[in-house]
Amino acid sequence: MNPRSTLSPQAQATVPTHVAIIMDGNGRWAKRRHLPRVEGHRNGVESVRAVVRAAGEAGVKYLTLYAFSVENWSRPKDEVDTLMKYLARFLKGEIGELTRNNVRLEAIGQIYRLPEFVQHQLARTRAALAKNNGLTLILALSYGGRTEIVEAMRSIAQKVREGRLEPAEINEQSVSQHLYTAHYPDPDLLIRTSGEMRISNFLLWQISYAELVVTPTLWPDFRKPQFYEALEEYTRRHRRFGLV
């Protein structure tokens, strides 16, 4: 994709309501520069800041970032510990920036698995930004698409067992209402950086009809121009939702 810093009139008229991003390539970015992997994560935070700002400027209403997956817990402890420290630092340090840009913060995933200091900072940051009504930034933390669906099924099964829900009443809408994302619209656009052609257990139910844009750009190099080019690509798509 050819990076650009402004949106065409066509793209401005068709900005997706909800954009989700699989932020991939931090490790490879660092390796190519003969740096520790954590340097890739540190520079990736700069991309988060740039893309959040760009999404708000473009008029995107919801931006979901795949920040930490359930599979990521299996990474080396030192790397996980560093990621958690970076996360807490980001949550605390970005309050001013997010407030200036009228960004509201939410989170999805098994939040209870995060270290307590991260949970506490997440709660404080969400509270500090609760009155903002611009872009809603959703961080997927300790998140897994299959885990989300399993937990939804358990919740539905419990309601059936208690007689609060009839099996015949279970449909797509009721399933969606039991997902982490029950209060948000499904993504219109899913972006994956680093060129990998897979979904990686991300929003498996919600992206049924999302447009997919895969860019070879590694996440630490993905900034406003690359984000805008993805929006331009979205504009060129014809969304038929199974129709003619």
- Rounded Cα distance between 207 and 189, Å, is 8
Q: Which residue has the tokens 């498996």?
A: 204
Active site residue 24: yes
Q: 105: burial class by Cβ within 10 Å (0-12, 13-18, 19+)?
A: buried
Active site residue 188: no
Catalytic pick from 2, 26, 43, 72?
A: 72
Catalytic pick from 24, 186, 188, 221?
A: 24
- Rounded Cα distance between 244 and 242, Å, is 7
- Rounded Cα distance between 1 and 230, Å, is 8
The answer to whether residues 64 and 21 touch, using CB atoms and an 8 Å cutoff, is yes
The two beta strands, 62-69 and 136-143, are parallel
The answer to whether residues 50 and 224 touch, using CB atoms and an 8 Å cutoff, is yes
Query: Catalytic residue positions?
Result: 24, 72
